[in-house]
Amino acid sequence: MTSNTLLDAARRTLVAGAAALVLGAVAVPSFVAPTFAADGPASVADLAQGVLGAVVNISTSQTVKGTEGPGAVPMPQLPEGSPFQDFFDDFFKNRGGEKDGGSQKVQSLGSGFVIDAEQGIVVTNNHVIADADDIEVNFSDGVTLKATLVGTDTKTDVAVLKVDPKGHKLTAVKFGDSTKMRVGDWVMAVGNPFGLGGTVTVGIVSARNRDINSGPYDDFIQTDAAINRGNSGGPLFNSAGEVIGMNTAIISPSGGSIGIGFSIPSQLASGVVEQLRQYGETRRGWLGVRIQPVTDDIAESLGMATAKGALVAGVIKGGPVDNGTIQAGDVIIKFDGKDIHEMRDLPRVVAESPVGKAVDVLIVRKGVEQTVKVTLGRLEDGEKLASGENGNTDQDKGADKAPAVSTASVLGMTVGELNDETRKKFSIAGDVSGVVITDVAKDSAAAERGIQPGEVITEIAQESVATPKDVMERIGALKEQGRKNALLMLASKTGELRFVTIRMD
C-alpha cells in the first residue's frame, strides 16, 4: 500500500469518526418537540356529537318604550356583511312606537347548557336574560320550552333557569375541573353566534387568571376559540366533553371574533350555580375588611422580603373580625391554606368559602407572621352593614388628652393637632383621631402620593400617633433604623382608611 493510499484511508477514518461524533451529539436532544398531524388536531366530531344536544339557545323578549321615547332600545350594530342585517332592518322598520314613549317588544339571543336533565336545570349568563319578561329555551332538535328564572348573580354574570323536564327529553353535560387546564390545551366552544344555533368552534386555552375588570371575582380563561355575539352563556368544553368554562365576553372593535374570548372558569361558576339552585341567591363568605395592594414600598416599610398578600386598610364595624382578630395594617398572605399572592386573590377565595366556616388566616403583623382563627360571616349581609358605616377601625382615642402643640413640617406636609377648630375647618368626623394634615407642599413626596389637606395621620409604621410631636418622633426613629420609606395610615374626613408610603430621603 502506497503512502498516498494510507493517507487517504486515514482521512476517511477521521471523517467517519467526526461524523459519528456529530451524529452522537444530536442523537439525544435536550428537548423533544411534540408532533402534530399536518391538518391540525384530531377530529372533534365525536366530541361535538356527544354534547350538542345539551347546548341550547336562549331567546328572551322584553317590553320597552318606543325608539323615540326615553329609554329607547336602538337597533343592534351588526358586523359588516352580517347575514342578519336584512332581518334586523325588517324587524326594526316601522317600530318607532309612539313619540311619547309607546311600548314595543324587543328580543335578544344567547346560549346556555343543560346541567341536570332530571330537574330541567339550564345555565346561562345573567346579561343574556337580564330584565326579560319571557325566556324561552330552544333545543337543537327544534323543540322550544318556556323557562323560569331560578336565580342570578350579577357579580359573576351567572344565571340559572328551569324548564319542565317532562316537556322534552333532555341531555345534560357536567362541570369539569378548570384548575387542571393548562395554557395550550385544546378546548371547544358551542353556542348560538348571530342566531346560528349549534355552532362549534375549536381553539386552545390562551391564558388563565385574566382580570378584565368586569367584576370583583375576575379569573377568566382566555381562549382563541371563535366566540361571537350570541355565544354568551354557552359552554367551553375540554377534550373529555366536560364544561370547564362559560363563554362570557370578547375583546373586539367590530363585534366579531378576533381570537380573544373569555370564559368564567367552572371552578367559580359551579359553586355559584349550586348556591342559586339551593337558595335562589348567593351565600358567600365574608371577612369584613377593606384591603389594598401591597406595593414594593409598603413591603419594605413593613419589613417584608417580597411584595405579596393583601394589606388590610380597615375593619368594618360589626364584621367577623371587629373583635381585633385582624387589624388595620395586617397583611393577609394565606387564607384557609390558600396562598394570597396579590390583593385580588383574597375576595375570590373568601367568597368561595362557606358562611360560618372557621378558617385559619396567616397574617404579617409588624413584621412577624402569625396565624389567627376567623369565623366567616355572609357577604350579602355584610354589604348592607358596610354601606351604613364609615369604615373606621378602633383607633387610639387619646388625642384629646395630649398637650396642645404647634404645627410641624415633615415629609412635605404641615401637620397639626386635631381639635374642634381643625375638625370644623376640614369637616372631619368626630370619631376620627390622629394628626391632621393642614397643608401639602407642591412637588413634595407627599403630593406625589396624592395626600391632601384634611386627611388625618392615624398611624406611622403601625404605631398610633396623636400629636405633631409623635409624628416627628416616629419619622426620626424610622430614619435612625435606616428605613427608606415611611408607611402612613391615613383617614379621610369620614374615616375611610388607606395606606401610603412616603420616601424619607
Feature table: binding site for substrate: 127, 157, 230-232
Report the binding-site residues. 127, 157, 230-232
Residue carrying the nine cell digits 371563535:
226
Residue carrying the nine cell digits 391554606:
337
Separation CA 377–CA 287 (nearest Å): 6
Write out the catalytic residue numbers: 127, 157, 232
Q: How far is CA 125 from CA 112, 184, 234, 282, 296, in A?
A: 8, 26, 8, 15, 38
The 8-class DSSP code of residue 326 comes to S
The gap from C-alpha 15 to its chain's centroid, in whole angstroms, comes to: 63
Q: Is the dihedral of CA 456, 461, 466, 469 positive or negative?
A: negative
With contact defined as beta carbons under 8 Å apart, do 236 and 263 qualify? Answer: yes
Separation CA 378–CA 356 (nearest Å): 8
DSSP 142-186: S-EEE-EEEEEETTTTEEEEE--GGGS------B--GGG--TT-E
The 8-class DSSP code of residue 69 comes to S
Separation CA 363–CA 335 (nearest Å): 9
